[in-house]
Chains A and B, each alone.
Chain A
Amino acid sequence: MFDDLNDLYQQVILDHCKKPRNFHELPAATCSAQGHNPLCGDQLKLFLALDGDKINDISFTGSGCCISKASASLLTDFAKGKTRGDLENMFGHVREMITTGKVADDVGKLAVFAGVHKYPARVKCAMLAWHAAMAALKGDQKPVTTESEEI
């Protein structure tokens, strides 16, 4: 019945939504940020343990739809061991992919979110964790919301 949705709910996304990775608080966190989607009330919290520019560890907690949870889960998978610059760089690529469908060479596994651009109502779900990650890096204290951020 839902074959047409396979480009949105890819197997990898379903898997990460059911078994989110790095789904816990992080006592060693050096910064964190909350993401809030006022449309559905969803809340995510992202934790980063930075050593200089290096992301030693990263995790998240909260509730959300399949797309936002999987997005947070895959983000943490990607970011672990990378640098602040890597994450900021990937933010740009992911945002472009999720809003236009254009897939940059280096997005790797995150390419599963390329289909989201065909579902405008779900773009914000996929971007929530990424906005929270950027806010955490910047040290923003105020929760980011999907309404206040430029997608």
Chain B
Amino acid sequence: MSRTSPDWSALRKDFPILDQKIHGKPLIYFDNAATSQKPRAVIDALVHYYGHDNANVHRGIHELSNRSTMAFEAARVRSAKFINARSADEIIFTRGTTEGINLVANSWGGKNLKAGDVILLTEMEHHSNLVPWQMLAQRTGAKLAYVPVTGDEAHLDLAKLDSLLTKKVKLFAMVHISNSMGTVNPVAELCARARKLGITTLVDGAQSAGHCLVDVQAIGCDFFAFSGHKICGPTGIGVLWGRQELLDAMPPYQGGGEMILSVEYQKTEFKKAPHRFEAGTPDISGPIGLHAAMDYLDAIGRENIWKHDQELANHAYEKLAALKNIRLFGPKQNRAGLVSFLLKDVHAHDVVTLADQAGVALRGGHHCTQPLMHKLGVESTARASFYFYNTKAEVDRFVEVVKEIQKFFGQ
């Protein structure tokens, strides 16, 4: 796909929220790994839906219900294209990454795991790709094992993988891009190695789906989960993709309306995937907003977004690395669009409060990767995470702010 470089400053104007001052300073929004901002196109899609087409889906025969059902199912087709799924029947709408993973853990995991089996994770998982597996392990008697992380640079220690991929492993769940470190994991290679041993794989795509091209068939995983709100879409909507064969063999996750073929007092016949997994009235505006977001991102080109993200992250990393009394986390090469750091003797929360005063929105904390923080011997880090509407000038300003913070604390 050849495309001229997008006009980034024109795109920035699509985001009404960015045009404001915080504590009298222009807002610099660097908390994109937590959630992205929304372009006018997505806001308009939501307003249009509620202003013109709102009705419940799949059950009505009237015109509005037809419209909302069509828009809802069109979003499923669009989502399949977004990650190159074979069919829209492989797309389950969820509340987000977290619900997608819980669905797999409960439905697939409940059916396929037993005492003594091993669930393999990595040490850099977000709590949402760790706690559901822990709960499943406690329920079934399965055990958890972890691919180690190498240290502050936070690569996976792949030399250990062969000894971890034993016959007992039934599932290997891994994060595509680490939200706290910026590591990009070689998920296609990891899934290929697991597949050879018949191990089912799940990829947490929360940080990748909106930032780089994702092709679930090329990755070769069995499940892939992501959230709409991190890719310019609304909160409350996400996508779980699963291989058709697996989805068809999985029991329902929740029971209720929408997911049934017929119900009697003593038994129920369920629909096939994906509807089997979508009980009750779904979030309807969510997929519609998500559709608009996917169109918006792909008009820019996710390969362009990835380049832009990486340029900002490399620029930030180099400038921060030149400072004294700073500890940087994550890989030196091929980092995703974020930088995690700690200033000597300054707590991450103090960094964030001071940066906020200068208009810079950062995040401080364990970023829902508490076990990894403990492994690295810290409680928390400060994190700047970027998206395509951020600029190099904003990164420069952010680095100046970091220097001022160091001065404030007498360094």
Chain A interface (Cβ < 8 Å from any Cβ of B): 1-2, 4-5, 8-9, 14, 18, 39-43, 63-67, 69, 119, 121-122, 125
Chain B interface (Cβ < 8 Å from any Cβ of A): 23, 345-350, 353-354, 357-358, 364-366, 370, 373, 379-380, 401, 404-405, 408-410
Q: State how many angstroms separate the Cβ of B390 from the closest Cβ of chain A.
A: 20
Q: A8 CA to B348 CA in the complex, in Å? A: 16
Q: A40-B366, A42-B379, A64-B347 are in contact. Are A1 and B358 (CB under 8 A)?
A: yes
- Closest A residue by C-beta to B370: A41
Q: Is A40 within 8 A of B365, CB to CB? A: yes
Q: Can you identify 18 A-B contacts, CB atoms within 8 angstroms?
A: A1-B357, A2-B354, A2-B357, A2-B358, A4-B357, A40-B347, A40-B349, A40-B365, A41-B366, A41-B380, A42-B347, A42-B379, A42-B380, A65-B350, A66-B350, A67-B350, A69-B347, A122-B353
Q: A146 CA to B407 CA in the complex, in Å? A: 30
Q: State how many angstroms separate the Cβ of B96 from the closest Cβ of chain A.
A: 20
Q: A41 CA to B347 CA in the complex, in Å? A: 11
Q: Is A65 within 8 A of B347, CB to CB? A: yes
- Residues of B within 8 Å of A40, CB to CB, are 347-349, 364-366, 379-380
| A119 interface neighbour in B345, B353, B410, Cβ under 8 Å | B353
- Closest A residue by C-beta to B358: A1
Q: Is A41 within 8 A of B345, CB to CB? A: no
- Residues of B within 8 Å of A41, CB to CB, are 365-366, 370, 373, 379-380
Q: State how many angstroms separate the Cβ of B186 from the closest Cβ of chain A.
A: 29
Q: Is B365 within 8 A of A5, CB to CB? A: no
- Residues of B within 8 Å of A119, CB to CB, are 353
Q: A14 CA to B346 CA in the complex, in Å? A: 11
| B404 interface neighbour in A1, A43, A65, A67, Cβ under 8 Å | A1
- Residues of A within 8 Å of B350, CB to CB, are 9, 65-67
Q: State how many angstroms separate the Cβ of A5 from the closest Cβ of chain B.
A: 5
Q: A2-B408, A4-B23, A41-B365 are in contact. Are A66 and B347 (CB under 8 A)?
A: yes
- Residues of B within 8 Å of A9, CB to CB, are 350, 408
- Residues of A within 8 Å of B379, CB to CB, are 40-43, 63
